[in-house]
Amino acid sequence: MNSSRSLTALAAAAAGAALLGAAWMAARFFAAQRRILLTTTQQPSDWKGRIEERRRGFTGRERNIRDHFFDANAAENGAASLRALELRAYRLEGIAQRLPKTRTRKPTPSEPKAND
């Protein structure tokens, strides 16, 4: 009789562990589908900045990976930081919008003509 009681307790514990494991896996899968917003502005390194980064879903390791790729992209384009590269792109976009729209080459057959 004692063995059936312990078997029932073991089965209940296993079922509970299975339910907790399934809930944990579902939470991980849903967390992987969250929207991750990236910004080039640096968060302050105080506790408020760390909370904001954590709210966005970045752990310390993920933040280091993100910063590595941001720095590599900036270095590849000859900028001090990705923020400086972004600001340069905005300046160049503003200059390009102020320039007259002229065509210096003949359009390919797939491109529309200049007077369209």
| Joined tokens for residue 112 | 């529309």
- Whole-prediction pTM: 0.46
Residue that the structure tokens 């640096």 belong to? 42
Contacts of 34 (CB under 8 A, 6+ apart): 57
Span 23-59, pLDDT tens digits? 999 988 887 776 666 667 666 666 777 677 666 666 7
Q: Note whether 52 and 43 are within 8 A (CB).
A: yes
pLDDT tens-digit readout, 63-75: 788 888 888 988 9
